[in-house]
């Protein structure tokens, strides 16, 4: 992740694990005794503070279940007036729809990462072929003549 | 480490996988962070200002809507810096701040037009597709140079 001029960094830690809860991640961060700000959310935690400290803490949290905890940078710090829904009259904050949609795919990705670590070979996927126009015409004709 | 541009530009999955396999993701979040923490005339600083459509003129013509040019002022410099790219198409989630179809088209065009390695995929919706998705990304990222080019 590229360094920022102001030296701070905010990261979203998204937990999609059967064994780790957002509270476990938060406790891991509290125990680290590093001076950073964290916010617990329904999907995980948000961590903000000096870049080195945030990266160090996030690495520790990811170690709890490395293939099922996902991290990305966030532009705005947690609780920022420009984004926080407390000051915007409720509703999902901008960008949450996208995050929520990706969170639904995370179990698939986590499982694939487990397989990757266990060197499970990739099987060829047989995708259903698109319906041919001639076949569609036959279906229509058979429906009409019924 | 190779700087890898991602599309969708704020994707959690792509950003995470690129860092996981030892490269640097070039994502929208970093650009937004720089903008909102740089002190300017606006207080607090905004992620898009009236100046941005002017900066976007480098990437889109003047008759292109200001919304496209404003977005390109954030995305364009990322594409310029990119040394590789991963494009995930078929994202039903290209709405919200990602929801400008013309910007998305222009972003993908400029990425493909640049002479860099590009991996194109679709979002996975089953275990088998997920496995293929992760394996292809890992294979692509492992083919990129790991040493720092800058």
Residues from chain A contacting residue B44 (CB–CB below 8 Å): 81-82
Nearest chain A alpha carbon to B31:
A75
Tokens describing residue A45 = 């935690």
Residues from chain B contacting residue A125 (CB–CB below 8 Å): 128-129, 132
- Residue B142 three-state SS: helix
Q: How far is CA A116 from CA A22, B86, B133, in A?
A: 25, 19, 11
Residue B119 has pLDDT above 60, yes or no: yes
Residue-wise pLDDT for A51-77, tens only, equals 999 999 999 999 999 999 999 999 888
How large is the ipTM?
0.88
Domains and CATH numbers, chain A: 8-117 (3.30.70)
Residue B125 has pLDDT above 80, yes or no: yes
Report, as ranges of residue numbers, the positions in chain A whose pLDDT lies below 70. Answer: 1-2
Residues from chain B contacting residue A99 (CB–CB below 8 Å): 12
Rounded (5°) CA angle B132-A121-A130: 40
Residue-wise pLDDT for B29-43, tens only, equals 888 888 888 777 666
pTM as predicted: 0.87
Residue-wise pLDDT for B55-106, tens only, equals 889 999 999 988 899 889 999 999 999 999 999 987 766 665 567 888 899 9
- Residue B3 three-state SS: strand
Residues from chain A contacting residue B74 (CB–CB below 8 Å): none
Q: Is residue B98 within 8 angstroms of chain A, CB to CB?
A: yes
Rounded (5°) CA angle A14-A18-A24: 60
What whole-number distance in Å separates Cα of residue A108 and Cα of residue B131? 8
Q: How far is CA A87 from CA A28, A78, B29, in A?
A: 30, 13, 22
Mean pLDDT of chain B: 87
> Best interface-test mutation with A: which of B3, B81, B130 has the largest number of A CBs within 10 A?
B130
CB-CB under 8 Å, B33 with A73: yes
Q: Is residue B109 within 8 angstroms of chain A, CB to CB?
A: no
């Amino acid at each position: 992740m590229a360094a920022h001029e102001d030296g701070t960094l905010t990261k979203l830690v998204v937990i999609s694990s059967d064994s780790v809860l957002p509270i476990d991640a938060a406790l891991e961060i509290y125990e680290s005794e590093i001076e950073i700000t964290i916010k617990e959310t329904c999907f995980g935690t948000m961590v903000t503070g000096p870049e080195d400290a945030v990266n160090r803490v996030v690495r520790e949290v990811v170690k709890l279940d490395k293939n099922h905890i996902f991290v990305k940078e966030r532009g705005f710090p947690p609780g920022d007036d420009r984004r926080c829904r407390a000051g915007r009259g409720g509703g999902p904050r901008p960008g949450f729809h996208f995050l929520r949609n990706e969170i639904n795919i995370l179990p698939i990705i986590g499982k694939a990462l487990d397989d990757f670590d266990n060197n499970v070979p990739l099987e060829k996927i047989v995708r259903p072929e698109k319906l041919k126009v001639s076949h569609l015409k036959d279906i229509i004709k058979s429906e009409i003549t019924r | 480490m190779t700087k890898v541009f991602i599309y969708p530009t704020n994707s959690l999955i792509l950003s995470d996988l690129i860092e996981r396999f030892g490269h640097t993701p070039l994502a929208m979040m970093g650009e937004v962070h720089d903008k909102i923490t740089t002190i300017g005339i606006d207080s607090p600083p905004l992620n898009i200002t009236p100046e941005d459509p002017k900066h976007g003129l480098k990437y889109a013509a003047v008759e292109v809507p200001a919304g496209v040019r404003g977005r390109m002022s954030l995305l364009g410099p990322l594409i310029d810096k990119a040394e590789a790219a991963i494009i995930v198409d078929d994202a039903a989630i290209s709405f919200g701040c990602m929801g400008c179809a013309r910007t998305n088209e222009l972003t993908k065009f400029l990425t493909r037009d640049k002479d860099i390695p590009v991996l194109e995929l679709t979002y996975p919706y089953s275990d088998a597709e997920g496995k293929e998705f992760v394996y292809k990304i890992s294979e692509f990222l492992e083919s990129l140079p790991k040493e720092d080019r800058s």
